[in-house]
């Protein structure tokens, strides 16, 4: 609880609920019910795209507008209650109200003003969603400014920064939730509706949803609130689909986030969501695949197997990797060798994840690519077969339940069986887990039925090797015995030099 209070302290914006409807947004105290618009001596600074993290249009200046004195914000009329000609002006006034920032760490502070802002946000969302009127370019600019001043903010320190603990998947009860979410959600919903609207002209919108705006959206993926990351994922995906001009930039920016995560911090809350977006993007790659995309696989996706917190995002990573192999089967050798390169040595949970991913990749692998990597691959599988951790050994034996993998093994059994025969025999002789022992017997039987002659030859070589090893061990013991006898005959060390 203490951590949540500390975290909420430096958060910024939020939004309001629906309830009231009066007139013109901001009036001076004592002039609350005047029919005039903004008081002439009151200036409302909109969020610019440069100030509070928002991209700044030419000449644009913006900064968050902190909450005014209590009672100085008045609710505005609903869009349906004003003439069509006045709706654009009303739209701008509602945007002005929504630029005010409130303190959400104190639920009893500015309750009325928060409610007025939430009402204004809900009406803006409904107005954009209904498509009842095409908003002007100036209104679009002001709307993006308002969105920017609300969402682009300094995120609070992550839990691991306060406690020093390893970055792990947070439990639901300890998950940080943004206190301003009642407003923030509506701002994200407004942005989403604007991006997906058929009335939004990308030639106009790209002036405001520019590279700077997109980059700051990507920075917010490090938010610990999963609700915010979900909205960001949907919005960025829609921007990628609608704004073709941004596509290379988005891919490069995501690349850079991955590089920093892999090689510097190993801490980021949104890797899973970014990989979900990429999974859809990879699915749409045209063939033949560009060299840029293959480099992304080698330099970013495969190294994502290295960080400790891989379990948090492994499902999404595995999907992306498999998509690449399904798109271009020739990449299977590259992927499998990459998995072997980053194969965990001391982390059994990661090994189980790797084996599951390996099965998915092998499912999409053709015979030629399989032959290129099968020797190092089955040397690694042999080590997994003999793992004392029963889940690792069991998961590696489950590979023989896959018909496609068994067919690849059968075609190359003369190479594969000699590599893993000793591991199978060791399991049968000495593995402590009964389930692993039983599965090993089944795999051994499968090879015997597959090629009896080859199996017998491997067994003969294994027995010869065991006999030689036993002979070497006996010779070693005999040598030590002779040395012990010689030492005893010489008086047990009388000739040793003393100091």
Q: What is the pLDDT of residue 134?
A: 78
Q: What is the pLDDT of residue 168?
A: 52
Q: What is the pLDDT of residue 159?
A: 63
Q: How confident is the model at residue 23 (pLDDT cuts 50, 70, 90)?
A: very low
Q: What is the pLDDT of residue 244?
A: 95
Q: What is the pLDDT of residue 494?
A: 52
Q: What is the pLDDT of residue 482?
A: 93
pLDDT tens-digit readout, 146-171: 999 999 999 887 765 555 555 555 55
pLDDT tens-digit readout, 72-129: 678 888 888 888 889 999 999 999 999 998 888 877 777 888 899 999 999 999 999 8
Q: What is the pLDDT of residue 75?
A: 84
pLDDT tens-digit readout, 240-293: 999 999 999 999 999 999 999 999 999 999 999 999 999 999 999 999 999 999
Q: What is the pLDDT of residue 125?
A: 95
Q: What is the pLDDT of residue 157?
A: 79
Q: What is the pLDDT of residue 73?
A: 78
Q: What residues pair up with 101 in beta bridges, in sequence order?
A: 66
Q: How confident is the model at residue 457 (pLDDT cuts 50, 70, 90)?
A: very high
Residue 302 predicted with pLDDT over 80: yes
**Which distant-in-sequence residues (6+ apart) come within 8 Å of 313 by Cβ?**
271, 272, 275, 304
| Mean local confidence (pLDDT), 373-379 | 97
Sort residue 64 into left (φ over 0), alpha (ψ -120 to 50) or beta: beta
Mean pLDDT, rounded, of the chain? 84
| Mean local confidence (pLDDT), 321-328 | 96
Compute φ and ψ for 65, nearest 5 degrees. -100, 110
| Contact assessment for residue 270 and residue 232, using Cβ atoms and an 8 Å cutoff | yes
pLDDT tens-digit readout, 377-421: 999 999 999 999 999 999 999 999 999 999 999 999 999 999 999
- Provide the pairing of β-strand 100-101 with 65-66: parallel
| Contact assessment for residue 91 and residue 38, using Cβ atoms and an 8 Å cutoff | no
């Amino acid at each position: 609880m203490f951590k949540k209070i500390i975290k909420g302290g430096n958060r910024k914006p939020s939004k309001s609920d629906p309830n009231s409807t009066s007139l013109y947004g901001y009036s001076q105290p004592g002039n609350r019910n005047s029919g005039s618009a903004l008081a002439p001596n009151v200036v409302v600074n909109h969020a610019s795209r440069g100030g509070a993290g928002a991209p700044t249009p030419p000449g644009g200046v913006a900064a968050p507008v902190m909450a005014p004195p209590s009672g100085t914000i008045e609710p505005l009329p609903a869009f349906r209650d004003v003439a069509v000609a006045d709706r654009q002006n009303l739209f701008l006034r509602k945007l002005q109200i929504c630029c005010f920032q409130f303190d959400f760490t104190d639920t009893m502070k500015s309750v009325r003003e928060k409610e007025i802002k939430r009402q204004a946000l809900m009406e803006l969302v409904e107005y954009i969603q209904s498509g009842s009127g095409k908003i002007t370019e100036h209104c679009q600019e002001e709307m993006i400014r308002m969105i920017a001043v609300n969402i682009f903010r300094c995120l609070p320190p992550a839990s691991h920064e306060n406690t020093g603990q390893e970055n792990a998947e947070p439990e639901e009860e300890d998950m940080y939730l943004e206190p301003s979410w009642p407003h923030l959600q509506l701002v994200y919903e407004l942005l989403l509706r604007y991006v997906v609207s058929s009335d939004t002209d990308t030639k106009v919108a790209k002036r405001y949803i520019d590279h700077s705006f997109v980059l700051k959206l990507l920075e917010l993926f490090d938010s610990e609130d999963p609700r915010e990351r979900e909205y960001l994922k949907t919005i960025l995906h829609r921007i990628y689909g609608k704004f073709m001009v941004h596509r290379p930039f988005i891919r490069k920016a995501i690349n850079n986030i991955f590089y920093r995560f892999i090689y510097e911090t190993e801490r980021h809350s949104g890797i899973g969501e970014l990989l979900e977006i990429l999974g859809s993007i990879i699915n749409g790659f045209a063939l033949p695949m560009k060299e840029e995309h293959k480099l992304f696989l080698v330099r970013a996706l495969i190294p994502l197997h290295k960080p400790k917190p891989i379990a948090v995002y492994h499902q999404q990573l595995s999907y992306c990797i498999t998509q690449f192999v399904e798109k271009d089967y020739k990449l299977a050798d590259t992927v499998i060798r990459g998995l072997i390169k980053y194969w965990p040595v001391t982390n059994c949970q990661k090994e189980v994840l790797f084996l599951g991913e390996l099965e998915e990749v092998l499912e999409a692998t053709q015979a030629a690519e399989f032959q290129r990597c099968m020797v190092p691959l089955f040397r690694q599988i042999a080590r997994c077969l003999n793992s004392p951790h029963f889940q690792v050994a069991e998961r590696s034996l489950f590979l023989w339940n896959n018909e496609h993998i068994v067919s690849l093994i059968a075609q190359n059994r003369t190479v594969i069986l000699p590599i893993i025969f000793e591991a199978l025999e060791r399991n049968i002789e000495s593995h402590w887990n009964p389930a692993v022992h039983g599965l090993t017997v089944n795999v051994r039987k499968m090879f015997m039925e597959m090629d009896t002659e080859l199996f017998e030859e491997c067994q003969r070589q294994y027995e010869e090797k065991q006999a030689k090893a036993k002979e070497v061990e006996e010779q070693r013991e005999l040598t030590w015995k002779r040395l012990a006898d010689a030492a005893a005959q010489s008086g047990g060390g009388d000739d040793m030099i003393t100091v």
